[in-house]
Amino acid sequence: MMMTKSLIFGSAVGFVAMGGAQAADLPVKAKAVEYVRICSLYGAAFYYIPGTDTCIKFGGYLRVDLALNSPDYVPGLNGQVGAQNRLSNYYNTRSRSDFTIDTRTATEYGVVRTYSDVLFTWTTGNYVGSAPGAYDASGVNVGSTTLGINYAFIQFAGFTMGRAVSAFDAPWQSYPAGLLDGLPGGSNHVTGANQFTYTAQFGNGVSGSLSAEDPTAQNTTNAWNTSYATALLYPTGAYGTNSFGGTRAPDLIGNVTVDQAWGLFKLSAAAHNNHVSYYGTTEPTGHPGDKWGFAVQAALSIKKIPTGPGDTLNVQAVYTDSASRYNFQTFVPTTYALYGGSNIPGAYQSLGLGSVADVTYSGTTAATGTALESVKTWGFRGGFTHNWNANWASAIYGAYASVRYGNNAKNAICSPAVATSIVVLNGLTGNCNPDLNIAVIGTNLIWTPVKNLAFTADINVTQLDQKYSGVIAAPAVLGVAKPAAFYTLKDQTGVSMLIRAQRNL
């Protein structure tokens, strides 16, 4: 019996020893997997970055466009589209992928936010002249793939630093109800403006901002030195050489915004510095002094209207003095040469002519030079969107913008006593006045078969209302294959259309 107990005890000890040895050989237990957690602090689709207290959201869209009689769904008021001949594309196509990254971290100073918006775009090319008078396949630009950055900014303690929407803009940019990129009547920095901005929240939806923004890329039009006008420049809508110098000051912008359940009201103001180069081609010729301009804009959005849930009315109005880009925004052409037919005997065709500028001056030396003269503009735009049901919506939109030149500019452009005037160089017979208006009206229909997928057809009519009349003897403009001939100066109208498919992420 004693021997039996000893064997059993010994066996048990052996098994325990073996079990202990095997346990020692097992790997250390792995840490629990940290799954991605939903971050509900900043809205839908935010998630915590694993191992951090930072929330992130990815977004963007994929878009396919077919534009008819328009290179980029802007009014075709110049260049090959304006020529209305065999050099222009009847249609253009574009495919775009947009990718956004939004990160937010709660700190003792408030939320720290970073945001970036990157675009990858392919666009149809255009036919160009490979040699004077030769327009063939060897001059084809077959298209281009581009990388773009709309926004890249940091927000911290009320400050916005980097490339973001301008503090001057209405929330809908230049799209109160439609897709037309080139709608005048207010500012548009949908592709962003480099800035340093402070925004204060006063409560109850009321806020105010002060901003310093880089004007180089999007806030200038033209600074015409009319003394360098030529017979060839006038038929392209240029009143001399565009003589801006380097930047000396940022655009200074302020706004007050009321954003509540009924809608939104925003009042904006901007100060813009005009700094030109020299009267001549070298420093000793001298230069005019700088001139500060300004712009004022009011925007109103009404959401609760009796036509139906989700319907929206957006309107805005703007006035500028030596700061015309805040009316004729970055996608609106600033020189106009739109051709059409003519029933005047002896005239080859008709031509709508004009341009937009911030300032004008003249002179080739300091002794003969003038100071910068203001170009004043005003305009408005608006749109109404109606939702027929959950899948169908339509809208109507329009805009009107006006340009008024100063007396010195009108004299330089129109006086028979000025050697570089349109009357002398191009033999204008009729009324000479560089002032102009542009009017646009458009409509669209939107079908949303499923959430975040939309198909849109958008069409618009644009009219160039110029103040010239009579006949001009223009030289040949080989870039658009126009011969030297007599042209009737008259108003012109263009029609363009966009068909778009877009899937939002």
**Alpha helices (H) in 26-163, listed in sequence order:** 79-83
How far is Cα 87 from Cα 83, in angstroms, rounded to an integer? 8
Strand 359-361 and strand 223-225: the pairing is parallel
Q: Are 363 and 418 in contact (CB under 8 A)?
A: no
**Phi/psi at 75 (5° precision):** -55, 130
CA distance 386 to 312: 7
User: pTM for the complete prediction?
Assistant: 0.89
Question: Dmax of the chain from CA atoms?
Answer: 139
Query: H helices then E strands: how many in the chain?
Result: 4, 25
Residue type, 451: K
Residue with tokens 């009108």: 410
Pairing label, strands 485-489, 392-404: unpaired
CB 120 within 8 A of CB 150: no
Domains of the chain: 58-504 (2.40.160.10)
- pLDDT one digit per residue (tens) for the chain, 505 residues: 444 444 433 444 343 344 444 444 555 565 555 678 999 999 999 999 999 999 999 999 999 999 998 877 888 889 888 998 888 888 999 999 999 999 999 999 999 999 999 999 998 876 655 444 444 444 445 567 889 999 999 999 999 999 999 999 999 999 999 999 999 999 999 999 999 999 999 999 999 999 999 999 899 999 999 999 999 999 999 999 999 999 999 999 999 999 999 999 999 999 999 999 999 999 999 999 999 999 999 999 999 899 999 999 999 999 999 999 999 999 999 999 999 999 899 999 999 999 999 999 999 999 999 999 999 999 999 999 999 999 999 999 999 999 999 999 999 999 999 999 999 999 999 999 999 999 999 999 999 999 999 999 999 999 999 999 999 999 999 888 899 999 999 999 999 999 999 999 8
Print burial letters for 356-385: b (CB count within 10 Å at least 16), e (below 16).
bbbbbbbbbeeeebbebbbbbbbbbbbbbb
CA distance 298 to 216: 24
Token reading at 32 = 């629990």
- How far apart CA 454 and CA 475 sit, in angstroms, is 47
Given a contact cutoff of 8 angstroms between Cβ atoms, the answer to whether 311 and 373 are in contact is no
Which residues lie below 8 Å from residue 20, measured CB to CB, with a gap of 6+?
Answer: none
What whole-number distance in Å separates Cα of residue 252 and Cα of residue 359?
Answer: 18
Residues 224 and 276: beta-carbon distance below 8 Å: no
Residue 79, helix vs strand vs coil: helix
Tokens of 314: 């957006």
